[in-house]
């Protein structure tokens, strides 16, 4: 069965717009789980633009919530991760000036730093994945880094589909990367920019075991409610 991870970062974005306590990401996490999510994803960014340390602490304390924490490959964030012990970690690229994550990790350039962090996470029994571009080269390097999973960046595919442009080549890259990763023993996840249509298309790739979706789910929930949107996404994954 394909799993759905719901990213609740932008619940925190709405809260922070007023500098108050509502809406609470913790309550969003509970609601999402009750609505059919298989896990919750949050990204503790260096600039704390949405999720705060207090959110991580509160959510990670509830052991009924399988928590996937996205983090940059840096040691100060790693120390916070080890204090809170989320179930899963996904190492992602991060730039302070970006609006959202722009592409996958440059794992070749940052191999030593990522390897150091992965080794520590593995020692602490935290399942680790790398957010990478859908290329065979990056899948191979990920295997060398001794991670459990990879998460393929689907942003380019999603943008092509939304703009009604040809997307076959990008879809083929994702399919081939997924097949190769599965063949060499890496679990395959997918994330970034997905909506109902792109989720349905990507669900046909049997090797993808988990989808992590955030911005679309939270945005669409304004109109249809969180429970309804999660259930619709789950139907697309069947």
**Of 10, 94, 192, 207, which one is the catalytic site residue?**
192
Is 192 tagged catalytic?
yes
Is 22 tagged catalytic?
no
**Of 10, 70, 170, 207, which one is the catalytic site residue?**
70
Kind and range of the H or E run holding 42: strand 39-43
Is 207 tagged catalytic?
no
Contacts of 6 (CB under 8 A, 6+ apart): 32, 37, 39, 40, 41, 212, 213, 214, 217, 230
Q: Measured over all CA atoms, what is the biggest interatomic distance in the chain, rounded to whole angstroms?
A: 48
**d(Cα 230, Cα 222) in Å, to the nearest integer?**
13
Number of Cα atoms under 13 Å in the Cβ half of residue 176: 13
**Of 43, 50, 153, 189, which one is the catalytic site residue?**
43
Catalytic center residues: 43, 70, 192
């Amino acid at each position: 069965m394909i799993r759905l991870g719901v990213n609740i970062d932008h619940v925190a974005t709405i809260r922070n717009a007023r500098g108050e306590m509502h809406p609470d990401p913790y309550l969003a996490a509970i609601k999402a789980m009750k609505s059919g999510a298989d896990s919750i994803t949050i990204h503790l960014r260096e600039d704390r633009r949405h999720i705060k340390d207090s959110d991580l602490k509160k959510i990670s304390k509830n052991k009924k919530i399988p928590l996937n924490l996205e983090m940059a490959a840096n040691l100060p964030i790693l120390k916070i991760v080890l204090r809170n012990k989320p179930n899963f970690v996904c190492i992602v690229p991060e730039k302070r000036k970006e609006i959202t994550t722009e592409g996958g990790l440059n794992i070749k350039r940052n191999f030593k730093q990522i390897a150091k962090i992965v080794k520590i996470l593995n020692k602490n029994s935290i399942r680790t994945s790398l957010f990478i571009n859908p290329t065979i080269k990056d899948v191979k390097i990920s295997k060398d880094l001794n991670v459990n999973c990879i998460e393929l960046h689907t942003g380019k595919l999603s943008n092509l589909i939304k703009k009604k442009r040809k997307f076959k080549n990008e879809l083929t890259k994702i399919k081939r990367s997924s097949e190769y990763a599965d063949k060499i023993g890496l679990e395959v996840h997918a994330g970034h920019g997905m909506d109902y249509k792109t989720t349905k298309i990507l669900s046909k790739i049997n090797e993808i075991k988990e989808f992590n979706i955030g911005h679309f789910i939270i945005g669409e929930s304004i109109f249809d409610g969180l429970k309804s949107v999660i259930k619709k996404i789950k139907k697309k994954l069947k």
